[in-house]
A and B are shown apart, each in its own frame.
Chain A
Amino acid sequence: MISKTIICPSCKTQMTVQGNPGEKILVTCPNCKNKGYFIIPSPKPISDSISIEINNLTKIYKDVKAVDNVSFNVYNGEIFGFLGPNGAGKTTTIKSMLGLIHVNSGTIKINGFDMKKDSIDVKEKIGFIPEKVSFYDNLTPFQTLCFFCELKGVDKSVVPSLIKEVGLEDAMNRKVGTFSKGMVQLLGIAQAMIGNPSIYILDEPTVGLDARWVRFIRQKIKMLNEQGATVVFSSHILSEVETLCNRVAIINKGKLIAQDTVANLNKYLHIKPRIEISIDKLDGKVPKIIEKIDGVDAANAKGDTLFVTCDSQVRSRVIAALGKAGFKVVNIKTIEPSLEDAFVKLIEGDT
């Protein structure tokens, strides 16, 4: 059984649909009562074929190595997260991928084509949203998208549907100069979608937006990926990357320090889960007792909750020790290690 979040095309209400892959389900919008069929998509296997291949990329600004010998691959159909603290080299790497920055050394291949030699052909298959999106103040969204369609050689008849898809119909004839940041970002998404690119490169697409737009953009990214696109997505919001991405790469001080799935990163970094144990009348001495147990990394108390970092198999020994010491366990919750844990460990280790 698969769960999918869909949006009503009439009133934009979000709904969750459950079903088996390939199943056709009649959906009724709870808000506007609009009815329509939705086919549950089959889980998309992530291909082994490489979509983006970066080899030994180096970019030096004066004396600073902004990107230092970075290599990674992005596979067809995956959402690839690109993480790093501010100034780590994420944007420089992304801009290099698009030929916006001249690199000192290294190669970039997209769909097998060398970005230096065949950039014009390659760019036809890419949709890009930069970190700072901006368009032309005196043009309307319609004129803006027509311009980008013409630049890509795409028929302008797609423009109204693109505007509708990002929900800017009401602002179609307003000048972009009067738009809010969120609206400009939506226009950015619409422009990136021109010509149905097979690769999307998004540099911090949700930065500075309010929760409503963030949610919308995340859904759009998921939807584009479900339709078969490869997405490279940089962000400093770890939870966002963790939710959306199949694999992540972490960059710090220009160097790639890790790339894998979130689960593999945690495994490889030996990051242990955390157990939150609610105890009736928790005593200050308890953490010291628990820390003595073999396999427990740390134990801290806050109010009536005991936080224990340990391997899953040690959990029963912790509970037994609490019982032996005469404490009544009210509730137990295991928190699996997050991308944030891996990120912090990697960055701190690198420092």
Chain B
Amino acid sequence: MKLFNPRTMYVVAKKEFLDNIRNKWVIVLTFLFALIIIFVSYAVGSGETFGNMQNTVLGLLSITSFLIPIIAIILGFSTISGEAESGALNVVLSYPAKRIEVLLGKLLGLGSVIIVSVFIGFGVGGVVIALTVGPESWVGYIAFIFLTIFLGFIYLSLAICISAFCKRRITSIGGGILVFFWSFIYGIVITVILYATGGTVDDLLAGNLPDWFYNSVVFSPGDLHQAAVQRAFGVDTINAMGYSYTLPESLSLSNLLIVHIIWLIVPLVLAYIFFKKRDI
């Protein structure tokens, strides 16, 4: 017996894409995205011209690791709990469709919305920069686009997991908020641990930090994404806003990508377990 039928998965993915591509929040955030990229690029170029791709991307990192999770969480937080509550999932599962097919179809369909959103947002920005200052570092820029899509899929997987676990849409909202703020919570926790183990503010600003502090990015998808993009551009040290930090060798691009994959797969497996056991 086949584990799943790719055709059913495709049918569910297509429906999810058609239903969610018109989500007004996703549309608004996509256009905001494109505008921010152009604005950041111009600001990086000291307000006289557009900055090059590398500097623009490094300037954009904190914004993408903020906006992409929002889009992914909006798309996925109630995809199971909300549909179970409304009754739509009852109908879908009364058809010859396995729960694994519905789950993977949802991931792919909603993920396609993120892909379109990222391509529109970064595509417009990238074209403007390439036309004005030249397409240098374009390999890094493309890597940045793919890593951003990867980040979107990680948050989508987390959001679907929340949605499969929560019985009701309203509780899924709470779960979505927790996932969104996880990077901030992680930042606070890790800084508290640093101080508790003898670290100082000066050490933090100078980037004079133990390796475990850098390696702890594996616990935060947003920071993981930032580290991976840095590596993709070959930038080991960043000096920004009074901070200076150099990534340790253990955080190589390949290692970072493996952790990305773990962040994608684990929530998805949990989502399947919750969804399979769930009474609809």
Contact = CB atoms under 8 A, between A and B. Distances in A.
Partners in one complex: yes
Interface of A: 95, 98-102, 119-121, 123-124, 126, 128-139, 143, 147-148, 150-153, 188, 191, 201
Contacts of B22: 138
27 contacts: A95-B279, A98-B90, A100-B93, A100-B94, A102-B277, A120-B96, A128-B91, A128-B94, A130-B87, A133-B87, A134-B83, A134-B87, A134-B88, A137-B19, A138-B23, A139-B19, A143-B18, A147-B11, A147-B14, A148-B95, A151-B8, A151-B11, A151-B96, A151-B97, A153-B96, A191-B91, A201-B94
B15 A132 contact: no
B252 interface: no
Interface of B: 8, 11-12, 14-15, 18-20, 22-23, 83, 86-88, 90-98, 277, 279-280
Nearest to B97: A151
Contacts of A135: 88, 91
Contact of A132 (B23, B86, B96): B86
B87 A151 contact: no
A290 B217 CA distance: 90
Contacts of B14: 147, 150
A124 B15 CA distance: 19
A100 B94 CA distance: 7
Contacts of B18: 138-139, 143
Contact of A101 (B20, B88, B95, B280): B280
Given A137-B19, A139-B18, 5 more contacts: A101-B280, A130-B90, A132-B86, A151-B8, A151-B96
Contacts of B98: 120
B203 to A, nearest CB: 51
Tell which of A124, A126, A150 has the most Cβ of chain B within 10 Å: A150
Contacts of A128: 90-91, 94
A120 B101 CA distance: 12
B280 A152 contact: no
A100 B95 contact: no
A138 B87 contact: no
Contact of A147 (B15, B87, B90, B277): B15
Contacts of B97: 151
Nearest to B95: A151
B13 to A, nearest CB: 11
Contacts, number: 80
Contacts of B277: 102
B19 A138 contact: yes
A24 to B, nearest CB: 38
Tell which of A102, A134, A139 has the most Cβ of chain B within 10 Å: A134
Nearest to B22: A138
Contact of A150 (B11, B87, B280): B11
- A-B pairs with lowest CB-CB distance, top 6: A132-B87, A134-B86, A128-B94, A130-B90, A134-B87, A100-B280
Contacts of B11: 147, 150-151
B84 to A, nearest CB: 9
Contacts of A139: 15, 18-19
Nearest to B94: A128
Contact of B95 (A95, A123, A133): A123
A100 B97 CA distance: 12
A181 to B, nearest CB: 12
Given A135-B91, A138-B20, A152 B279 contact: no
Contacts of B8: 151
Nearest to B87: A132
Contacts of A150: 11, 14
Given A138-B18, A138-B20, A147-B15, A124 B88 contact: no
Given A95-B280, A143-B18, A131 B87 contact: yes
A124 B92 CA distance: 12
B169 to A, nearest CB: 12
A43 to B, nearest CB: 31
Given A143-B18, A151-B8, A136 B88 contact: yes
A95 B94 CA distance: 9
B257 to A, nearest CB: 34
Contact of A133 (B19, B83, B91, B93): B91
A151 B9 CA distance: 9
A148 B15 CA distance: 10
B90 A136 contact: no
Contacts of B90: 95, 98, 100, 128, 130, 132
A136 B279 contact: no
Nearest to B21: A138
Nearest to A151: B95
Contacts of B23: 138
Contacts of A130: 87, 90-91, 94
A129 B96 CA distance: 15
A116 B95 CA distance: 14
Contacts of A100: 90, 93-94, 279-280
Nearest to B99: A99
Given A95-B280, A101-B280, A136 B15 contact: yes
Contacts of A124: 96
A339 B11 CA distance: 44
Tell which of B15, B20, B91 has the most Cβ of chain A within 10 Å: B91
Contacts of B87: 130-134
A152 B91 contact: no
Contacts of B96: 119-121, 123-124, 151-153
A300 B239 CA distance: 95
